[in-house]
Amino acid sequence: MPRKQLTEQLSRVLPTDDASIPDHITLVNVGDPQGSLLATRLQERQQKVISTLGPADIRAAVTCLVSKIQKFCNSNAKPPPPIKVLLAGSDSFINSVLRSYVDQLSFKPPDWQNYIKFLIVPLGNNSLARYLSSLDGVYASAFSAETWKELLERAELQKTDCQEMLNRVHRYLHSASATIQLPVAEAMITYKEKSSDEESSQIFIPFVNDVRLGSPETSASASVDLDETQLSVPQLSGSPPSLASLPDKKDRITPPSSPNINSLYMGQNRDQSLSEPMELQLDYWLIPGKASETPAVGKSSKGDTTKSTLKTTFRSLQIQRLPLAGEQPTQHFLMSYSTKEKKQKIMRLGKKKEKEKETEPKSQVVEGVSRLICSAKTHSVPLKVSIDGTEWSGVKFFQLSAQWQTHIKHFPVTLFSFPEASL
């Protein structure tokens, strides 16, 4: 989509000469064919739609929205009414919105977190929507994976199904009023650029879903190459620095509130397949009380019963911030991993030497993880890390914390109903 078209949409949906704030707006990932259809049909019904094609568009839209709220605050003594922001896209799309949201609101007072509520309409792979469906039966009946996907596919062919698609979105926008506060976790990635002589660089990435390495699930729907330096994303005139170029290293090693969390290129869609076994070292810390409940899988540091270290060959690793289906938000991670193990060789007289065979992968689940550091045992081999469905390549090691460091601790999502008060 030409940048001119995005500028026109923003000026129409969020005009700068009007201090009022709309009740709701919709951000749609039109890079998804079904998203393009949804955006077109909503616009035909005079809905306030912003069509996005990548993080640069998302950043421009969120920046424009925050500026709109700021203008209202400057003109009124009372706080603005909450605006509903409907997000139609995959996990990686929602993470792009989260990064811009955390970036922008990190520079605003804490009460600004009451001004924006997000609504999630799944397109493509969306683990967050599956979790929301486990909490809210009405939401599940509208947007559960298979029925909603089938409806979208039929809507491309029949106008009657298109109307049902729009009815579900309309009911969600105008009937949902409960809010769940999803905890925002922090990933700090350390990486080395091919074109740089400096040892390493760092960035901070907020996330609400999970972090994966070598997962057999097809979860990544976008990619980021941390070695990439030749970028050609056009910049929206008048907007803050977007994705047109990577900043200098000295500008990237910044606290979590830095705008630099948004200054990397999002690549084309590609699937994440089961990778080769990885030689990793994991250092992780458990919340108090969990250390005694968790089986010993590594050597704890002297005097620190909450820390464990694990050095082995991993087939997959997942650190999940979202709770399990139907459960309430927690203050910690759930870590699951699968390791590669080999059968012992038994030599018998009169028999040829048998080849060393692999056993079935050994799986382990660890609850109550508050912090984790992961690094490759072979430093020359960079890691590919999936964060909320977006693959980041060229990673030397990463560190995860269960809570984002600034005052933006939660991502507010609206549901029809929520069984208990969220954290």
Residue 245 lies in a domain: no
Residue 257 lies in a domain: no
Give the residue with greater pLDDT, 4 vs 159.
Answer: 4
pLDDT of 271 strictly over 80: no
d(CA 190, CA 253): 10
Q: Give the rounded distance of the alpha carbon of 145 from its chain centre.
A: 18
pLDDT tens digits for 364-391?
999 999 999 999 887 677 889 999 999 9
Residue 251 lies in a domain: no
Residue 82 lies in a domain: yes
The arithmetic mean of pLDDT across residues 269-284, rounded, is: 69
Q: Tell me, what's the pLDDT at 208?
A: 98
pLDDT tens digits for 243-260?
333 334 333 333 443 333
Please check whether residues 216 and 358 belong to one and the same domain: yes
Please check whether residues 222 and 350 belong to one and the same domain: yes
Average pLDDT, the chain: 80
User: Quick check: 92 and 388 in contact, CB under 8 A?
Assistant: yes
Residue 192 lies in a domain: yes
- Tell me 230's DSSP state: -
For 79, the token pair is 């706080």
Its pTM stands at 0.81
Please check whether residues 166 and 313 belong to one and the same domain: no
Handedness of CA 242, 245, 248, 253 (dihedral sign): positive
The arithmetic mean of pLDDT across residues 125-151, rounded, is: 92
Q: Which of 193, 106, 201 is nearest to 398 (CA)?
A: 201
End-to-end CA distance of the chain: 39
pLDDT of 209 strictly over 60: yes
Please check whether residues 26 and 163 belong to one and the same domain: yes
Residue 351 lies in a domain: yes
d(CA 105, CA 27): 18
Q: Tell me, what's the pLDDT at 259?
A: 35
Beta partners for 342?
358
Please check whether residues 193 and 178 belong to one and the same domain: no
- Amino acid identity of 105? L
d(CA 208, CA 97): 11
Q: Tell me, what's the pLDDT at 415?
A: 97
Please check whether residues 341 and 210 belong to one and the same domain: yes
CA distances to 118, 336, 362, 370 from 315, rounded to whole Å, are: 35, 11, 9, 22
Please check whether residues 20 and 141 belong to one and the same domain: yes
> Can you give the C-alpha Rg of the chain in angstroms?
23
CA distances to 24, 76, 87, 157, 306 from 117, rounded to whole Å, are: 9, 20, 10, 32, 36
Residue 423 lies in a domain: no
Give the residue with greater pLDDT, 325 vs 222.
Answer: 325
3-state helix, strand and coil shares in percent for the chain, rounded to the nearest 5 = 25, 30, 45
Q: Of 54-63, 165-174, 298-307, which range is least confident?
A: 298-307
Confidence of residue 134 (pLDDT cuts 50, 70, 90): very high
Confidence of residue 272 (pLDDT cuts 50, 70, 90): very low
Residue range of the domain that includes 166: 3-184+408-415
- Tell me 11's DSSP state: H
For residue 292, give the CATH number of its domain.
Answer: 2.60.200
pLDDT tens digits for 92-132?
999 999 999 999 999 999 999 999 999 999 999 999 999 99
Please check whether residues 209 and 289 belong to one and the same domain: yes
Please check whether residues 333 and 357 belong to one and the same domain: yes
Please check whether residues 102 and 203 belong to one and the same domain: no
Confidence of residue 404 (pLDDT cuts 50, 70, 90): very high
Q: Which of 68, 183, 165, 164 is nearest to 122 (CA)?
A: 165
Please check whether residues 145 and 168 belong to one and the same domain: yes
Confidence of residue 422 (pLDDT cuts 50, 70, 90): very low
Confidence of residue 261 (pLDDT cuts 50, 70, 90): very low
Q: Of 135-139, 231-235, 257-261, 322-326, which range is least confident?
A: 231-235
CA distances to 298, 307, 374 from 291, rounded to whole Å, are: 12, 8, 19
Please check whether residues 214 and 133 belong to one and the same domain: no
Residue 310 lies in a domain: yes
Number of structural domains found in the chain? 2
The arithmetic mean of pLDDT across residues 178-197, rounded, is: 86
CA distances to 210, 285, 287, 317, 338 from 368, rounded to whole Å, are: 15, 8, 6, 16, 18
CA distances to 89, 119, 301 from 48, rounded to whole Å, are: 16, 14, 55
The arithmetic mean of pLDDT across residues 211-218, rounded, is: 68
Q: Which of 332, 305, 308 is nearest to 320 (CA)?
A: 332
